[in-house]
Amino acid sequence: MLIADIIRSKGSDVVTAAPTATVAELTRLLAEHRIGAVVVSGDGRHIEGIVSERDIVRALPQQGGEVLDAEVRSLMTTEVVTCTPKQTVVEMAELMTRHRFRHVPVVEDDELVAIVSIGDIVKARMALLEDERDQLIEYVQQ
């Protein structure tokens, strides 16, 4: 199964925030869309960074409530790991587990086309495993 299969199933909508948006605005986006990360992009097509709930939580002990007034660029990860629609679900599961991140933007021709979460990956892996199980059961019963 490919990342493209996940995108076909879940859609390609990506929530983005400008690097100059405040962290308070970012938290509203996270809550409104019920998501765990936002891609930082000035134009909605080119990735400048990514900010997750974890980034905000990690900034709170140092900055306290003042972090909400900070610009998103102050928290974002700038070296963003991305994938393409042609990569496999298994490959992405291994990468996300190894590097301990939960959201990966999907790019094609250097432009943002979607985002996948660890939840999307797990759901796809479960579907693959169930298909394999069903095929094995059918094979044994024949």
Q: Which domain holds residue 26?
A: 3-141
What confidence tens digit (pLDDT) does each residue in 94-130 have? Answer: 999 999 999 999 999 999 999 999 999 999 988 888 8
CATH code: domain of residue 90: 3.10.580.10
What confidence tens digit (pLDDT) does each residue in 41-55 have? Answer: 999 999 999 999 999
Confidence of residue 138 (pLDDT cuts 50, 70, 90): confident
Rounded to whole angstroms, the Cα distance separating 20 from 73 reads 7
pLDDT of residue 115: 97
Q: Which residue has the tokens 């991305």?
A: 82
Residue 142: exposure state from Cβ atoms within 10 A (0-12, 13-18, ≥19) = exposed
Q: What is the dihedral of CA 95, 20, 58, 90, to 10 degrees?
A: -10
The total domain count for the chain is 1
Residue 126: exposure state from Cβ atoms within 10 A (0-12, 13-18, ≥19) = exposed
- Percentage of the chain surpassing pLDDT 70? 100
Residue 139, pLDDT above cutoff 90: no
| Average pLDDT over all residues of the chain | 94
